[in-house]
């Protein structure tokens, strides 16, 4: 079996970037070694849901996120113990991390000293200009970017009252105000997010903000919900904004295993033809002709495919009559029948396998094809 991580060989090739789309020009900041903004790839983020003070569990989850392509990972820092734990976490991982801070400026300072590659704060709730200045000075000293994170649920009271609620104009006013606090202190390694749980409000707010600042934008729909609701909201808001050239990095927020956030993120990028990581899975919705457990087959193929960065196209079809024809554009496909299944390349059937061995037989063909493509790319370099 080939090395499915393939990070040292293929990372530069497995994400196809559409440079042809018109993208809003922004400044560039670096989160660790990941550039955000300008014409760099739109970066995929997620957030751990472990207790950051549990170093072993947090490292395990970060590595799992990195395996499925997460490029920047945010961690909650609720107290000093969590901030200090970042130092041990950093020793065991290679992906950049962002410390998520609320209210206590000392946690931001401690997180930077512990090796955080970025911090997320709301400058207005850190206790005033003097305390914010301490955070900005520490960020400057370590070269750490600051994300100004504005959420509809934590909007300043005066702005909320003036606008009658967390409307897009209010979110933008708050963002501009809070960016100004940092810029006035002479620091401009800043990126910005303005999130709402309202999909349309999020779209409108980012559209407004994109015309008022050239700092890189972090997209997201906050508290989007579970797998179905969260995927729909995020796909509409983030996908639409990306298609308009707005957005430099994003997180899909789901009440779910954070690896699912990364999976959805790359499907959004694939759908709008901006980036492609890993196999595209096409599968039929099933009908009365289906005589195989296609749901389980498709789910397991999707799970295994998350570990592959190479952009294959795989088909999982429920009907041996129409399956090969409908999926002839795939690199590899399987089609189920009553107790049996077919494995095909393009429209050519290459194997007939009993149902109980279909998945493993199919995956052996995937591994063989992957090894073949990797070898071909190595020879061409």
Name the class of domain 19-271: alpha beta
**Domain residue spans in the chain?**
19-271, 280-380
What are the b/e assignments for 303-340, b being 16+ CB within 10 Å?
ebbbebbbbbebbbbbbbeebbebbeebbbbbbbbeeb
Report yes or no: 14 and 277 within 8 Å, Cβ to Cβ. yes
pLDDT digit string, tens, across residues 315-341? 888 776 666 666 677 888 888 777 778
C-beta atoms surrounding 38 within 10 Å: 13
DSSP string, 139-182: HHHHT--EEEEEEGGG--HHHHHHHTSS-HHHHHHHHHHHHHHH
Sign of the Cα torsion 218, 224, 230, 233 reads: negative
State the Cα–Cα distance between residues 112 and 83, nearest whole angstrom.
8
Percent above pLDDT 70 for the chain: 88
Reference 118, options 17, 223, 37, 225; nearest CA is: 37
The separation between CA 167 and the C-alpha centre of its own chain, rounded to angstroms, equals 26
The set of residues, in sequence order, having a beta carbon less than 8 Å from that of 158 and lying 6+ positions away, is none
Residue 299 has pLDDT above 80, yes or no: yes
The separation between CA 248 and the C-alpha centre of its own chain, rounded to angstroms, equals 11
Q: Please state the pTM of the whole predicted model.
A: 0.85
The set of residues, in sequence order, having a beta carbon less than 8 Å from that of 346 and lying 6+ positions away, is 328, 329, 330
Residue 258 has pLDDT above 90, yes or no: yes
Q: 87 or 10: whose pLDDT is higher?
A: 87
132 sits in which H/E element:
helix 129-142
pLDDT at 321: 62
**Domain 280-380, architecture per CATH:** 2-Layer Sandwich (3.30)
Number of alpha helices (DSSP H) and beta strands (DSSP E) in the chain: 13, 15
State the Cα–Cα distance between residues 238 and 264, nearest whole angstrom.
11
């Amino acid at each position: 079996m080939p090395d499915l991580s393939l990070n040292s060989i293929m990372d530069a090739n497995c994400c196809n970037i559409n440079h042809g789309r018109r993208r809003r020009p922004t400044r560039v900041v670096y989160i660790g070694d990941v550039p955000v903004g300008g014409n760099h790839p739109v970066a995929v983020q997620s957030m751990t849901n472990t207790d950051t003070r549990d170093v072993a569990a947090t490292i395990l989850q970060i590595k799992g996120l990195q395996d499925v392509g997460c490029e920047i990972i945010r961690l909650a820092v609720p107290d000093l113990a969590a901030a200090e734990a970042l130092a041990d976490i950093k020793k065991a991982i290679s992906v950049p991390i962002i410390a998520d801070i609320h209210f206590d400026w000392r946690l931001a300072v401690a997180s930077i000293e512990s090796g955080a590659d970025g911090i997320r704060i709301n400058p207005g709730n850190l206790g005033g200009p003097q305390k914010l200045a301490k955070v900005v000075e520490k960020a400057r000293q370590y070269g750490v970017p600051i994300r100004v994170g504005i959420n509809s649920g934590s909007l300043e009271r005066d702005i909320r009252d003036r606008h009658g609620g967390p409307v897009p104009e209010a979110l933008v006013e708050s963002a501009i105000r809070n960016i100004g606090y940092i810029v006035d202190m002479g620091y401009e390694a800043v990126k910005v997010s303005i999130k709402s749980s309202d999909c349309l409000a999020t779209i409108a707010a980012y559209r407004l903000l994109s015309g008022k600042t050239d700092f890189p934008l972090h997209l997201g729909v906050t508290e989007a919900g579970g797998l179905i609701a969260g995927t729909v909201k995020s796909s509409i808001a983030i996908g639409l904004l990306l298609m308009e050239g707005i957005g430099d990095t994003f997180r899909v927020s789901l009440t779910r295993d954070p690896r699912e956030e990364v999976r959805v993120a790359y499907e959004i990028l694939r759908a709008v033809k901006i980036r492609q990581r890993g196999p595209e899975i096409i599968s039929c919705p099933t009908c009365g002709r289906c005589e195989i457990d296609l749901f389980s087959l498709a789910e397991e193929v999707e799970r295994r495919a998350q570990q592959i960065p190479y952009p294959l196209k795989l088909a999982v079809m429920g009907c041996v009559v129409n399956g090969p024809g409908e999926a002839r554009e795939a690199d590899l496909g399987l089609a189920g029948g009553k107790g049996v299944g077919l494995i095909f390349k393009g429209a050519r059937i290459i194997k007939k396998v009993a149902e109980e061995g279909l998945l493993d037989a199919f995956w052996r063909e995937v591994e063989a094809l992957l090894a073949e493509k990797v070898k071909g790319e190595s020879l061409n370099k």
